[in-house]
C-alpha cells in the first residue's frame, strides 16, 4: 500500500542527504509519505539550484554533468524544460571557449541537444534562444568542412590530392 511505497521511496534516497536536510531525529519520521514527498521536492529544488549555480559560474563540464544527473534523478520535474535549454546554452558557451580542436564536437553536441529539445518542447518559451544557439552552431560547423586547398605555385594541379 501507500506505506510500503513510502518506505521504498525512502530507500531510494541518499541517506547522507536526508541527514543533512533533516537530522538524525527526523530521519525516523520518514515512514510518512507526505514527509517523503516534501523531502523529494527539497532534494529536487536543491539539485536544480546547484546545477544552475554551475551554469552561472561558467563551470561548463560540471554544469553539463549536473544537468544530465538532474534529468535522470528527476525525470518528471517541472524544471526539465529549463534544464534542457540551459544545457544547450552551456554547451554552446563551452564550445565558444574551447580550444579549436574541441569546438567541432561541442558544436555538434549543441546541434544534437537542440534537436532533442524541439522534439520534447516544441512550443517552449526558450525555443527562440535555443534556435539562435543552433543556427550559430550550424554556421560554425560549416567552417569546419575541409575546403579544397590550392597550391598557388603549381597552378592548382595538386588540389585534387589534398
What pLDDT does 7 receive?
Answer: 54
* Per-residue b or e along 104-113, where b marks 16 or more CB atoms closer than 10 Å to that residue's CB: eebbebbbeb
pTM assigned to the model: 0.71
Q: Say if residue 122's pLDDT is above 60.
A: yes
- Return the axis-axis angle of helices 33-56 and 2-12, rounded to nearest 10°: 30
Distance CA 66, CA 41 (A): 17
Q: Say if residue 31's pLDDT is above 80.
A: no
Q: Say if residue 138's pLDDT is above 90.
A: yes
What pLDDT does 154 receive?
Answer: 46
What's the pLDDT tens digit per position in 70-112?
999 999 999 999 999 999 999 999 999 999 999 999 999 999 9
> pLDDT category, 118, cuts 50, 70, 90?
very high
| Among 126, 98, 97, 101, residue whose Cα is nearest residue 114 | 126
Q: Say if residue 45's pLDDT is above 50.
A: yes
Burial class (CB in 10 A: 0-12, 13-18, 19+), 132: middle
The residue with greater pLDDT, 99 or 158, is 99
Amino acid at each position: 500500500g501507500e506505506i510500503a511505497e513510502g518506505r521504498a521511496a525512502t530507500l531510494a534516497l541518499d541517506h547522507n542527504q536526508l541527514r543533512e536536510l533533516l537530522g538524525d531525529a527526523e530521519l525516523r519520521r520518514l515512514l510518512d509519505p507526505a514527509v517523503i514527498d516534501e523531502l523529494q521536492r527539497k532534494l529536487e529544488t536543491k539539485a536544480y539550484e546547484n546545477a544552475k549555480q554551475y551554469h552561472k559560474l561558467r563551470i561548463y563540464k560540471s554544469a553539463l554533468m549536473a544537468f544530465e544527473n538532474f534529468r535522470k534523478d528527476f525525470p518528471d520535474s517541472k524544471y526539465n524544460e529549463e534544464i534542457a535549454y540551459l544545457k544547450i546554452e552551456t554547451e554552446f558557451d563551452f564550445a565558444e571557449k574551447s580550444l579549436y580542436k574541441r569546438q567541432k564536437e561541442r558544436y555538434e553536441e549543441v546541434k544534437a541537444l537542440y534537436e532533442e529539445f524541439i522534439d520534447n518542447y516544441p512550443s517552449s518559451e526558450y525555443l527562440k534562444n535555443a534556435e539562435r544557439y543552433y543556427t550559430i552552431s550550424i554556421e560554425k560547423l560549416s567552417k569546419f568542412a575541409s575546403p579544397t586547398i590550392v597550391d598557388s605555385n603549381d597552378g592548382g594541379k595538386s588540389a585534387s590530392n589534398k
